[in-house]
């Protein structure tokens, strides 16, 4: 596994996203066994970074992650746990309460990374970061980040955060280049901020694209792995794919070790430009 090292920590290039674990916007108990099985297999395979949020399954995703971690007997300090606060909870007291709720559901004393899930134009970032900085001082949050932030808000967040801002988590994949065009990807790469790519392989024709398939055949891997490797070959970029299937989880994890050539990267960079 490759890592990004910054601000004194090592972050795996490939983590495990938990959207749809335990449900989507609301809890769905019928998915519990399937979800727990997915989490347990990910832990057994060696995933150490798990990304969740209070929004995911209305907090139930955090509860299931807690159960899987407890059952794994893996030491808490060996894991990196990320959670996120809803945009409706960005006032000072609400942030503190939301974090307490996440910690209670996770059955943990702290989260390694706590993100603003989406910006809220009705609440000033100054108020939100006052609470986030307080959580860091109390030891309930180790590192702070943001999600779905444009360049202007990202820069402002850096100024307001008392500790180095760790990440901006955004949708980023071969065809999804919004955050390339708006300058966020380049800014993160040059300012020691992790760009966490979500939905990295969720796009049409991935598995049948002839260029992707050709590069995959050369490396003896799948098109999905090449799409992930394109991300992990970039400095300061990590990604958090999710799969319920243990074999796909294994392939996703192994994608970080695929070394693309400069020519392959150049081809992939141009593949979906429009």
pLDDT in tens, 140-177: 999 999 999 999 999 999 999 999 999 999 999 999 99
Whole-number Å distance between alpha carbons of 242 and 49: 12
Which SS3 state, helix, strand or coil, does residue 229 take? Answer: helix
Domains of the chain as residue ranges with CATH:
3-198 (3.20.20.100)
Helix (H) or strand (E) holding 5: strand 3-6
Helix (H) or strand (E) holding 262: helix 262-270
Whole-number Å distance between alpha carbons of 179 and 53: 22
Phi, psi of 112 (to 5 degrees): -75, -30
Residues contacting residue 152 through CB under 8 Å, at least 6 positions apart: none
pLDDT tens, N- to C-terminus, the chain (274 residues): 899 999 999 999 999 999 999 999 999 999 999 999 999 999 999 999 999 999 999 999 999 999 999 999 999 999 999 999 999 999 999 999 999 999 999 999 999 999 999 999 999 999 999 999 999 999 999 999 999 999 999 999 999 999 999 999 999 999 999 999 999 999 999 999 999 999 999 988 898 999 999 999 999 999 999 999 999 999 999 999 999 999 999 999 999 999 999 999 999 999 988 6
- At 273 the pLDDT is 81
Query: pTM (2 decimals)?
Result: 0.97
DSSP state of 234: S
Average pLDDT, the chain: 97
β-strands 80-85, 111-116: how paired? parallel
- At 274 the pLDDT is 60
- At 248 the pLDDT is 97
């Amino acid at each position: 596994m490759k890592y990004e090292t910054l601000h004194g920590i090592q972050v795996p290039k490939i983590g495990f996203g938990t959207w749809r674990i335990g449900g989507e916007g609301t809890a769905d108990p019928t998915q519990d066994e399937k979800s727990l099985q997915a989490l347990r297999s990910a832990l057994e395979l060696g995933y150490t970074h798990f990304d969740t949020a209070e929004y995911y399954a209305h907090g139930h995703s955090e509860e299931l992650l807690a159960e899987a971690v407890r059952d794994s007997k893996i030491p808490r300090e060996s894991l990196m746990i990320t959670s996120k606060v809803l945009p409706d909870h960005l006032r000072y007291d609400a942030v503190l309460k939301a974090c307490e709720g996440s910690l209670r559901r996770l059955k943990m004393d702290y989260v390694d990374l706590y993100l603003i899930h989406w910006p809220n134009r009705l609440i000033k970032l100054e108020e939100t970061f006052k609470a986030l900085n307080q959580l860091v001082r109390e030891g309930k949050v180790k590192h702070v980040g943001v999600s779905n932030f444009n360049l202007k808000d990202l820069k402002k967040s850096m100024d307001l955060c008392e500790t180095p801002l760790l990440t901006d988590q955004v949708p980023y994949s071969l065809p999804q280049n919004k955050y390339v065009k708006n300058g966020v990807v380049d800014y993160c790469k040059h300012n020691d901020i992790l760009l966490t790519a979500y939905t990295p392989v969720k796009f049409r024709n991935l598995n049948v694209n002839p260029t992707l398939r050709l590069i995959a055949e050369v490396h003896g891997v799948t098109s999905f792995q090449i799409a992930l490797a394109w991300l992990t070959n970039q400095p300061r970029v990590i990604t958090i794919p999710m799969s319920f299937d243990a074999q796909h989880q294994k392939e996703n994890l192994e994608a970080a070790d695929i070394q693309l050539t400069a020519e392959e990267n150049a081809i992939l960079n141009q593949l979906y430009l429009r």
